[in-house]
Amino acid sequence: MISDPYQVLGVPQTAADDEIKKAYRKLAKKYHPDLNPGNAEAAKKMSEINAAYEQIKSGNPYPNTYYNGSNASREYASSAYDSVKHYINLGYFREALNILARMSDRSAEWYYCSAVANAGIGNIITALNHAETAVRMNPGNPEYQRILNMLQRGGHVYQQQRRGFGMPNDTLDKLCFGLCIADLCCPFC
**CATH no. for residue 35?**
1.10.287.110
Residues 6+ away with beta carbon under 8 Å from 5: 51, 52, 53, 55, 56, 61
Residue 75 is predicted with a pLDDT of: 44
Question: Are 94 and 144 members of one domain?
Answer: yes
Question: Are 149 and 77 members of one domain?
Answer: yes
Question: Are 49 and 129 members of one domain?
Answer: no
> Which sign does the torsion angle of CA 10, 15, 20, 22 carry?
negative
Q: Give a yes or no: residue 173 inside a domain.
A: no
Q: Give a yes or no: residue 131 inside a domain.
A: yes
Residue 112 is predicted with a pLDDT of: 93
Residue 174 is predicted with a pLDDT of: 47
Residue 59 is predicted with a pLDDT of: 63
**CATH no. for residue 106?**
1.25.40.10
Which positions of the chain have pLDDT values less than 70? 1-3, 58-79, 155-189
Residue range(s) defining the domain that contains residue 154: 72-161
d(CA 189, CA 185): 7
Domain count, the chain: 2
Cβ atoms within 10 Å of 163's Cβ, excluding its own: 10
Q: Give a yes or no: residue 148 inside a domain.
A: yes
Residue 63 is predicted with a pLDDT of: 45
